[in-house]
Amino acid sequence: LTTDQIHALAIDPTSTATLYAGSWGGGVFKSIDRGATWTSINTGLTATQIYTLVIDPRTPSTLYTGTYGHGVFKSVDEGDSWTPINIGLSSNYIYAVTIDPQTTSTLYVGAHGYGVCKSVDGGATWTPSSTGLTNLYVNSVAIDPQTPATLYAGTSGDGLFKSTDGGASWTSKSAGLTANIVYTLAIDPQTPS
C-alpha cells in the first residue's frame, strides 16, 4: 500500500484471502494473501480518492466503488479494470454504495448533496430516491438483509432516516440521537431490527 488512509475494506466472501482496500489518494488495492502484500488495481479508474467499496455477494468478481468527485465505478473482473457507471447520477461525490443481497442488480448510493439514488440494472442507470429526506448529504446507506425493502440512511445534519419501500420514501428515525451526523451504519444480520 502506498497510502495510510484507507476508507474502505472488502473481503471476497468466497475466498477470504482476497481483500480489496479503497484508499484516499491511491485508488484501489488488492491482496490475495490476507493482506501480506498489496497491488494497485486502478486500470480505468480515474479517481484516486475512494470513499466506499463493495463486493457483489452473489458474483464476487463484481465490485463497485464510490469516489470523491468521479461518481461510481464498476469492475466485473475482480478489479482488473473499472468502468464509470454514472448515468442519471446528479452528484459525483458518492459516500456510500449498498447492494440488495437478494437482488444484486439493485443498488443504492448515498450522494453528498443529492440524497439517495437507486439502480435496478446493476448501475447502468440511476434514479433519485430521496422523497422525505430533509437532508440530502447522505454519508451511509444500510439495507436489511432479510427484508431488502427496508433501508437506513445516515445524513450530515438531520441524523437517521428509514425507508420500508425500497427507497421510494423516507421518514426520520432520529428521536433520541444526541448527534445529527451519522457517518456509518451497521445492521445485525441475525436480528436486523
Give pLDDT, residue 2: 65
Has residue 179 got a pLDDT over 90? no
What average pLDDT score do residues 102-118 get? Answer: 96
**Helix H or strand E encompassing 94:** strand 94-99
C-alpha cell at 172: 426520520
Give pLDDT, residue 90: 86
Average pLDDT, the chain: 95
Has residue 165 got a pLDDT over 70? yes
Three-state SS annotation for 42-77: CCCCCCCEEEEEEECCCCCCCEEEEEECCCEEEECC
Q: Which residues contact 67 (CB under 8 A, 6 or more apart)?
A: 47, 49, 50, 51, 73, 92, 94
Give pLDDT, residue 96: 97
C-alpha cell at 107: 443498488
Has residue 3 got a pLDDT over 90? no
Q: In what order do the strands lie in the sheet with 151-155?
A: 138-143, 151-155, 160-163, 171-172
pTM equals: 0.94
What average pLDDT score do residues 62-76 get? Answer: 97
Give pLDDT, residue 46: 93
C-alpha cell at 128: 433519485
Report the percentage of the chain scoring pLDDT > 70: 98
pLDDT, tens digit, for every residue of 126-151? 999 999 999 999 999 999 999 999 99
C-alpha cell at 123: 448501475
pLDDT, tens digit, for every residue of 79-103? 999 999 999 998 999 999 999 999 9
Has residue 43 got a pLDDT over 70? yes
What average pLDDT score do residues 60-70 get? Answer: 97
Give pLDDT, residue 4: 74
